[in-house]
């Protein structure tokens, strides 16, 4: 049952990302999150390559995160506190989402070309 739910989640994420205007080829866009660990907290990690002008609601991929912030990079992607992201220039940006307890739930590494 878990495998079916996870497969459905991956398929939904893939279709959502293609509909959202993001690149969908395997070489530059990860549609499935990788689970990683910070201390005892697991979080999802995404690595995306997008074009200037790309916009996405990161809340859909946040794994329970409710607030978003830029963690680092050169300001290529703007993100609002509620997760709306927009690529404004070439470069890279690292964004994280936190849940209501303050735990990191997802990290987005976004390269804008």
At the topology level, CATH places domain 2-112 in Immunoglobulin-like (2.60.40)
The DSSP letter of residue 2 is H
Between 39 and 90, the more confident residue is 90
pLDDT tens for each residue of 47-87: 999 999 999 999 998 888 889 999 999 999 999 999 999 99
For residue 54, give the 3-state DSSP assignment: coil
Reported as a pLDDT band with limits 50, 70 and 90, residue 23 is very low
State the pTM of this model.
0.66
The DSSP letter of residue 33 is P
pLDDT tens for each residue of 3-22: 433 444 444 444 444 444 44
Q: Domain map of the chain by residue range?
A: 2-112
**Burial per residue of 52-80, b for 16 or more beta-carbon CB atoms within 10 angstroms, e otherwise:** eebebebbebbbebebbebeebeebbebe
Mean of pLDDT values over 85-102: 96
Residue where the block lists tokens 């995404």: 46
Q: Which helix (H) or strand (E) holds 50?
A: strand 41-50
């Amino acid at each position: 049952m878990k495998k079916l739910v996870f497969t459905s989640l991956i398929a939904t994420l893939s279709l959502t990302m293609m509909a959202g205007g993001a690149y969908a080829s395997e070489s530059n866009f990860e549609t499935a999150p990788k689970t990683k660990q910070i201390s005892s907290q697991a979080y999802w990690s995404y690595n995306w390559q997008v074009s200037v002008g790309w916009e996405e609601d990161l809340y859909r991929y946040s794994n329970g995160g409710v607030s978003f912030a830029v963690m680092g990079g050169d300001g290529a992607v703007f993100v609002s506190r509620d997760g709306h992201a927009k690529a404004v220039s070439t470069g890279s940006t690292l964004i994280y989402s936190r849940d209501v307890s303050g735990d990191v739930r997802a990290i987005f590494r976004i390269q804008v070309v």
